[in-house]
Structure 1
Amino acid sequence: MDEPKAAKQKRTCNKKVIFLLGALFPLGVIALVTIAVVQNKPLPKNIKYGIVLDAGSSHTSVYIYEWPSEKENDTGVVQQINDCKVEGNGISSYGHEPTKAGLSLQKCMNKARQVIPEMQQKETPVYLGATAGMRLLRLNNATMAEEVLSSVENMLRSFPFDFQGARIITGQEEGAYGWITINYLLGNFIQDSGWFKYMPNFKPTGTSGALDLGGASTQITFESKKEIESQENSLHFRLYGKSYDVYTHSFLCYGKDQALRLQIANSVPTATDSILMDPCFNSGYRRNTSTSDLYSSPCISNLRISTAPSFLDVKGTGNYQLCKRNVEAIFDRTRCTYSHCSFNGIFQPTLDGTFGAFSAYYFVMDFLKLTKGEISLDKVKETVERHCSKPWDEVKKEFPKIKEKYLSEYCFSGTYILTLLEFGYGFNSENWNDIRFLGKIKDSDAGWTLGYMLNLTNMIPAELPYSPPLSHATYTGLMAAFSILLVCIILICWLTFRKPKCLHKGII
């Protein structure tokens, strides 16, 4: 029996409608995806650069940073791309030959010229911050300090960068900028803002304290939830829409190099026939020290004794316990006019939160293999004591590539770090693992230089910059998906409730 004509027309019409929908649907999807891809095509990167010179007491380092200009106010976008350690000592050592201070920077600045594209060099800011070494030189001889700064300024102006000045920063600034650096790189400033705080099981960790140890000074900085009784140790920041009350203090003369001088100067009265037996050096190690050079530092000058010999023959005995006792003697824990002090009568609130320890803290503890994972305070002490007890010949054989000056001082430095953190600041076995020894964070060196540049370039806004809850790519993708869904719903409804005219042909 032949199929009715009306049925044939209906089936033919349905095929046409389905074919039309089938053709239009992928075309619509392709069109929407194309628009989304074109709209979100990555723009050419507009990279900016910055250079900061850390003129420390023992050496100078040059750090080169980059960041995408369109994300200038985002946290964690500035990254270190290169660094260069200047040969020789710190610029403060050139007090009698200031011209050489500037010349010493030439090699590393030439390296910076090779790293930064020529077209962007004129707009690349250069900052030099001098720390405790120059602070001590200024105390000793202000004229010498100015001549050294003038020398490095003249050298830096000779390069095709945007030189922004060279200055001696205060200890408080050094501590504050170190705190800003590590929290910026860790993303702590905006981690509890925006949509993150609405995520399930979200727990804001707050900021991390900063422990910085240089050659001539040491800084401790952390956010305090308690009253800061000493205003000179109090800082207030407004960063990314949140307020922070921060405690900071810089101890000039308590960097590891000056602390070693203090320890030796305290021991001079015990010397016999110019021979000083020192428990903070490995047994078998010997060093000839000029007392005039020893007492030349403002940190030591008040310890000068008239009967001191011209030279000291320092002989190591490698005794951790005696070394610890000698080191403790340079801290004054007998006076405090506040509710709580660290040492030398300086106010310090109760330690709170986690801490990042960097600079010499990291280098010394990394040498002793004490930076990975959680290691108990007792285990750290055992490790330092074991290193101190090794004969000098054995130490040299074990580490043949390390310069003798640095290698010879690891016993003292390890003992000093333990004493400073435990006896000085009040860390103990319960909160020892709140300290993380940091070398780099996301390929950037932990230190004060990045925070210094962020502050001077105003890249950390006081208020949190507005940003929509969704990225442009996510927004476009969702719009495309929901548009397709909506079209499909409309077509289905139209086909269901309003049949095409062709379907009515031939129907009685």
Structure 2
Amino acid sequence: MSAQRVDNREMKEKNPWQTPVTIIITVIGVIAIVALVTVAVLQNRPLPQKYKYGIVLDAGSSHTALYIYEWPAEKDNNTGRVEQTHSCKVKGPGISSYAHDPLKAGESLRVCMQEAEQRVPGKRHQETPLYLGATAGMRLLNIENSSASDEVLKAVESALQKFPFSYQGARILSGQEEGAFGWVTVNYLDDRLTQGLDTTGALDLGGASTQISFVSEKFDGSESPSNSVTFRLYGNDYNLYTHSFLCYGKDQALRMTLAQQTQSGQASILDPCFNTGYTVMKNYSVLYDSPCVSDRKPQNAPATFNQTGKGNFTECQEVVKSVFNFTHCKYSQCSFNGVFQPLLQGPFGAFSAYYFVMNFLNLTDTSIPLKAVEDKLNSFCSTPWNQIKQQHPDVKVKYLAEYCFSGTYILTLLTEGYKFDQTSYSNIKFIKKIKGSDAGWTLGYMLNLTNMIPAEAPDSPPLPHAGYVSIVTIMAVLLFILFIVSLRPLWPRCSKQPQIV
């Protein structure tokens, strides 16, 4: 029995896990391993991305829209990578329509601005820039009554300053800016700027103006400097041809075609640009209250006139052509109205009213021959008005009635005005959105403005790189020492080995 106790005691002495030193070493080792893993995880975890925000209000001739953009706080080649996160269409007409009651122009923006408050994180409100850009509607109002346009802008400014954003101003954009920023939008969304690819031209059609912008290798700006804009984006320089035609948006163009048909001040007209069976009474004063046609108002005209549809595409196209001047050109080549335009080059993106009209008419496929496009328009225009209404019961009558004119006008503007032929026409792509962002000037405007917003430093890891390496090294050495020490019971016990005599 005593021999068994001696053996058990010897086994306990030989078992390293039973000694206090070994337990302490084991605990320290486990703590070191946990600490090492924790430091490694914290140091290498993905850093939360910081974002900045910007708000742009597009105050067009027919309506106003609000767009919210966000981009990483760390800029990419001095140009922020901007994406649209939200849009809000303001109820009611464009702000230029409130010339006689400017306060309502500001009030109309309230609902969309409240949406912006909810969409932009509260901690970013104070640093989020807020811009309003007014386009052709306000350009026309400024021509007609500059004091009224000033009052509208003041009312808008007063309303926007009540919100917790960094208000940067409300101003009227020039036609050149509108066209150029639309070009930036199309090419940015298509990743052509970041990759330095050949660019896409931009075709924008609004209610009161239309813009064409593209890069031409043969255009250096010398022949027509006013049509030249230079951008530097993502380390590349772009020399852009751009022109904006005021009064050639589809709404004002319709006024001009009606003015052409009512020059004699008659009491009724038979309009080929509206479907057969369509009839409406219009007011001469309302028709001619735009600067685009005000100087053409016939004398001694009655108060109203009846507009009756005839539904003839060919005759409609002749009426549309009458609002263009193709005879005068002092340059080597022109589009229309004596405006210089270099030869068309590359693909084009057509947006805004271009898209909405052609999409309704099922004419967004530009691979079909131009003759087939004309045939489709001819078929639509000749369809009786009652049948048109039955086929599209959900479309507002005002818009539905104008599609024959709008489609004819777009085709005429592109082919007769800008000189697209069958080959170049097939290079047009009608677009509404690209990668979730609306095509238009606002994103390009915001993208350009990010160059003036200082970039933030990215969030840094918890430890500097040198400190992280030092800690990992120390812990690794400590674990190695602990491992060696834990093998202590296995070390040769020279003192206990029997000596040979």
- Bin for the TM-score computed over the shorter chain: 0.7 to 0.9
Corresponding residue to 1:225 among 199, 212, 217: 217
- Residue 392 of structure 1 and its aligned partner are, at CA, apart by 1.0
Matching residue of 2:357: 364
Counting only pairs closer than 5 Å after superposition, residues 284-433 of structure 1 correspond to structure 2 as: 284-372=277-365, 374-433=367-426
Query: How many angstroms apart in 1 are the aligned matches of 2:39 and 2:212?
Result: 53
Distance, in Å, in 1 between the alignment partners of 2:109 and 2:203 is 27
Match of 2:70 in 1: 66
Residue 76 of structure 1, CA deviation:
8.0
1:172 aligns with 2:176: yes
How many residue pairs get aligned? The number is: 420
Alignment partner, residue 481 of structure 2: none
Contact 2:263–2:296 under 8 Å retained in 1:
no
Paired position in structure 1 for 2:148:
144
Give the C-alpha shift of residue 379 in structure 1.
Answer: 2.3
Q: Secondary structure at the match of 2:451?
A: coil
Cα distance, 1:362 vs. partner?
A: 0.6
Measure, in 2, the Cα distance between the counterparts of 1:36 and 1:376.
63
1:77 aligned to which of 81, 84, 109: 81
The code of the aligned residue for 1:254 comes to Y
The answer on 1:214 being equivalent to 2:206 is yes
Match of 1:265 among 252, 259, 268: 259
Confirm or deny that 1:46 pairs with 2:50: yes
CA gap 1:269/1:373 in 2 versus in 1, 3 angstroms: closer
Structure with max Cα Rg = 2
Q: Map residues 226-245 of structure 1 onto 2, 5 A cutoff.
A: 226-227=218-219, 228=221, 229-245=223-239
SS of the aligned residue for 1:430 comes to: helix
Please give the TM-score of this superposition, normalised by the length of structure 2.
0.80
Distance 1:445 1:242 in 2: 24
Counterpart Cα distance in 2 of 1:100 and 1:398: 37
Closer/same/farther in 2, CA of residues 373 and 135 from structure 1, 3 Å limit: closer
The structure 1 residue matched to 2:432, chosen from 439, 446, 450, is 439
Work out whether 1:275 is the aligned partner of 2:268: yes
CA offset at residue 372 of structure 1? 4.6
Partner secondary structure for residue 458 of structure 1? helix
The sequence identity of aligned pairs, in percent, is 59
TM-score, normalization by structure 1: 0.79
Please, what is the CA RMSD of the aligned residues? 2.3
The 2-side partners of 1:371 and 1:39 are apart by: 52
**Does the CA-based 8 Å contact 2:77-2:235 persist in structure 1?**
no
Q: Which AA in structure 2 matches 1:319?
A: N
Matching residue's letter, 1:104? S
Contact 2:231 2:239 in 1 (8 A): yes
Q: Which residue of 1 aligns with 2:132?
A: 128
- CA deviation digits over 1:319-344, x for unaligned, max 9? 11110000000000001011100000
Deviation sequence 1:55-103 (CA, Å, 0-9, x none): 0000000111112212455768311111111111100000011111001
Whole-Å Cα distance in 2 between the matches of residues 311 and 235 of structure 1? 45
Helix, strand or coil at the partner of 1:383? helix
Question: Which residue of the other structure, out of 182, 185, 191, is the alignment partner of 2:189?
Answer: 185
**Structure 1 counterpart of 2:13:** none
CA distance in 2, matches of 1:256, 1:37: 60
Specify the SS of the correspondent of 1:45.
coil
**Separation in 2 of the partners of 1:256 and 1:222?**
21
CA distance in 2, matches of 1:258, 1:424: 16
Q: CA 1:213 to 1:36, structure 2 compared with 1: closer, same or farther past 3 Å?
A: farther
After TM superposition, give the deviation of residue 36 of structure 1 in Å.
8.8
Question: Is the contact between residue 239 and residue 460 of structure 1 (CA under 8 Å) also seen in structure 2?
Answer: no
Partner residue, 2:249: 255
Q: CA deviation at 1:373?
A: 6.7
1:295 maps to a residue whose letter is: Y
Could you tell me how far apart the structure 2 residues matched to 1:155 and 1:293 are? 29
1:160 corresponds to which letter in structure 2?
P
The SS at the match of 1:84 is strand
Q: How far apart are the structure 2 equivalents of 1:142 and 1:116?
A: 34
Output the CA distance in 2 between the equivalents of 1:250 and 1:447: 14
Q: For 2:394, what is the secondary structure of its paired residue?
A: coil
Asked if the contact 1:59/1:86 (under 8 Å) is kept, the reply is yes
Does residue 162 of structure 1 match 2:172? no
Per-residue deviation at 1:376?
2.8
Instruction: Quote the offset at 1:269 in angstroms.
Output: 3.4
The runs of 5 or more residues in structure 1 that have no matched partner are 1-31, 193-203, 462-508
Alpha-carbon shift at residue 419 of structure 1 (Å): 0.3
Secondary structure of the residue aligned to 2:169 is strand
Q: 2:278 is aligned with what amino acid?
A: Y
Aligned counterparts of 1:63 and 1:394: Cα–Cα separation in 2: 38
Contact 1:153 1:165 in 2 (8 A): yes
**Matches of 2:119 and 2:280, distance apart in 1:** 41
Query: Given the superposition, is the C-alpha separation of residues 242 and 36 from structure 1 closer, same or farther in structure 2, using an over 3 Å criterion?
Result: farther
Task: Specify whether residues 40 and 444 from structure 1 end up closer, same or farther in structure 2 by C-alpha distance, changes over 3 A only.
Answer: farther
Letter in 2 for 1:147: E
1:156 offset after TM fit, Å?
A: 0.4
Q: CA deviation at 1:245?
A: 1.4
* Equivalent AA in structure 1 for residue 239 of structure 2: D
2:41, 2:369 → 1: CA distance? 53
